[in-house]
Amino acid sequence: MLNRLMKLALGLAIPFSLLTAGPALAEIREHQLKFAAANNKGHPQVTGMEKFAELVSAKSGGKIEVKLFPGGVLGGDVQTVSALQGGVIEMTVLNAGILAGNVKEFGAVDLPFLFNNGEEADKVMDGAFGTGLMERLPDTGLVGLAYWELGFRNLTNNRHPVTKLEDIRGLKIRTIQSPIPIELFNTLGANAVPLPYTELYTALETGTVDGQENPAANILNAKFYEVQKYMTVTRHQYNPQIVLISKKFWDGLNDEEKAVFQSAATEARDYQRKVSRELDAKAITDIKATGMEVSELSAEETQKLRDAVKPVVDKFSAEIGADTVAALFKELQTLRGQ
């Protein structure tokens, strides 16, 4: 009789235990983490970081604190990625193409004149192609949470206005530390000089390089107009940014904590892109107001640039992987109804 009562009690207890257990109800614990980036406060990248930190705090009931380190104070992008892999820093956001050194397929997003607009880039990066790239990251000690944006890059220099392809020849241009931008500017006849973003202002100020290429918001935020005279709206490359978290840190989180980070990164993504595009539209006007001379390329000259860099696309398509590049262009053609 006693055994039967015990079995009955256990039978009644089982459903209750099922209701109170499982990862969905795992408790959110206290965490404090470092989120580093290269741009300064006021830049859309950092505005996105601030929104992310605010969302994480709200979603975790104040238990998870994200401490922000903008302005490259914890090192340049390449150095920061290494710190994430080692678990020294927990998070960063940077140009996705920089990860080509870790996962070669990420080089595809650096191909010149790839996207016609930001909305097109969003659909590709948030869709199967961008997700497929992220799935390759954990093997390198990184986890991708979302794609934000830096935007379309434009050229500045301190020697003369650039209104045609020939004007680029001979200029020493700083590029990001990624193979495609280096090859791109060398192919256009410039001398590409890869440098960390944190060293760029000084390099322009001292004349180590003649110019650089970045979205208008960066040119404004970093005050490059103080050390550059000429800007050309080339829009030669679009930079999606990727929000990364250290796999060492990620693996120590429970499912509910992971959900907090993932949902915050996605919500902050939509906000960050909106801020970035609004500021980009306004930044060129603000740059002109500083006294910097801004030139627009004619459609004919833009096409000359596109034609000139086709060998870059061909060369890196082989290195990135023909299947990866083919999948990217197929997705773009589908979006464009071609």
- Tens-digit pLDDT profile for residues 55-88: 999 999 999 999 999 999 999 999 999 999 999 9
- pLDDT, mean of residues 310-319: 93
**The predicted structure's pLDDT at residue 7:** 44
- pLDDT, mean of residues 315-319: 92
- pLDDT, mean of residues 301-330: 94
Half-sphere exposure of 268 (CA within 13 A, CB side): 30
**The predicted structure's pLDDT at residue 9:** 42
Q: Give the domain 29-335 fold.
A: D-Maltodextrin-Binding Protein; domain 2 (3.40.190)
- pLDDT above 70: percentage of residues in the chain: 92
The mean pLDDT of the chain is 92
CB 72 within 8 A of CB 198: yes
Those residues whose C-beta lies under 8 Å from the C-beta of residue 77, and which sit 6 or more positions away, are: 38, 92, 94, 95, 98, 176, 177, 196, 197
DSSP codes of every residue in 289-331: HTT-EEEE--HHHHHHHHHHTHHHHHHHHHHH-HHHHHHHHHH
Q: 149-187, pLDDT tens digit by residue? A: 999 999 999 999 999 999 999 999 999 888 899 999 999
Q: In this structure, what token pair is assigned to residue 196? A: 């960390």
**The predicted structure's pLDDT at residue 26:** 62
Whole-angstrom CA distances from 73 to 133, 197, 199, 267 are 28, 11, 12, 26
Q: 209-251, pLDDT tens digit by residue? A: 999 999 999 999 999 999 999 999 999 999 999 999 999 999 9
**The predicted structure's pLDDT at residue 338:** 77
Phi (first) and psi of residue 213, to 5 degrees:
-140, 125
Instruction: Give 69's DSSP letter.
Output: E
